Amino acid sequence: MPNSLDGSFVKDGPWKAGLFQGKVAFVTGGAGTICRVQTEALVLLGCKAAIVGRNREKTLEAAREISKLSPDRESAVGDSVLAIHSVDVREIEQLEQAVARTVEAFGRIDFVIAGAAGNFIAPFSQLSANAFKSVVSIDLLGSFNTAKACLAQLQKHKGAILFVSATFHYYGVPFQSHVGAAKAGVDALSNALAVELGVSGVRSNCIAPGVIEGTEGVSRLAGNVSKEQIRSKIPLQRFGTTKDIAETTVYLFSDAARYVTGTVHIVDGGMWHLGTHF
Ligand code: HXC
């Protein structure tokens, strides 16, 4: 399947098998392309995971697919991957219930990926206040709610949170004022948590993907711009892959990053330095 990992991620990659044995991840937006592959990487390395999503079918399907990657070959959905659907990150009570179900099933939460996001192209002149509010509520308030609902578990297990950000707000991308504003807030939230929660051993970082091939975000944003035009604007001269994001995620949750907090890891082939967009 495109945009999916397999056993070679562990066998041929730099990571030690069983790296995340005994750990549990809580992932919002886990049925979306990027967060699903981030979760696949964690599960391939022995982590258990709760996939939290709004859409019932998509969430169940993602959990089924990820379960097949568990190093425990007999693993069924529920053994190593839990699907928790019908959760809207704008509603903190729904997230609190999802956290309780995860702890009931797997006993703990060590890693949190706050990845649920909403986006569409809209000129500011046609962006209603409600449209702006919807995106800020999913991307920023949803990230706050996720961190807040997981806080006790993160503190108990000296865990780590990873917010999924973007690079739009570094320079200003037209028709993305809503997302740019929300993601700037996500970076600020992560920085504040890194400082405030560092004393209890909790790390907080952001990952900012660039143009990642095969994602809904890129197909929506690219419009009629050709792949070649986009590629030529990326210093590393290729699109990013979901695997690129997964590798950075593994690093940030691993002990190798034990002294890394309050950072934004930009995984975009250097594109934002050009201050450009497609
Ligand atoms: C203008 C729009 C719009 C559009 C919705 N709205 N789509 N305005 N252009 N294309 C307006 C609606 O008219 C309404 O305003 C308001 O937004 C809320 O719309 P609802 O449909 O009621 O909201 P809701 O059901 O909560 O849906 C939220 C959503 C939706 C964000 C609008 O698109 C969604 O759920 N998306 C989730 C999936 C998604 O977006 N995935 C892409 C993520 S990619 P009015 O005024 O009419 O009431 C991503 C990556 C970014 O984020 C980085 C890429 C590189």
Q: Whole-angstrom Cα distance, residue 275 to residue 90?
A: 31
Look up the pTM and report it: 0.95
The pLDDT tens digits for 106-154 are 999 999 999 999 999 999 999 999 999 999 999 999 999 999 999 999 9
* CA 253 / ligand 1 centre spacing (Å): 30
Q: Whole-angstrom Cα distance, residue 53 to residue 255?
A: 28
* CA 261 / ligand 1 centre spacing (Å): 31
Pocket probe for ligand 1: among 3, 120, 171, 241, the residue whose CB has the most ligand atoms within 8 Å is: 120
ipTM above threshold 0.95: no
Phi, psi of 206 (to 5 degrees): -115, 150
Calculate mean pLDDT across residues 62-82.
82
Domains of the chain: 16-269 (3.40.50.720)
Residue 210 in tokens: 């660039």
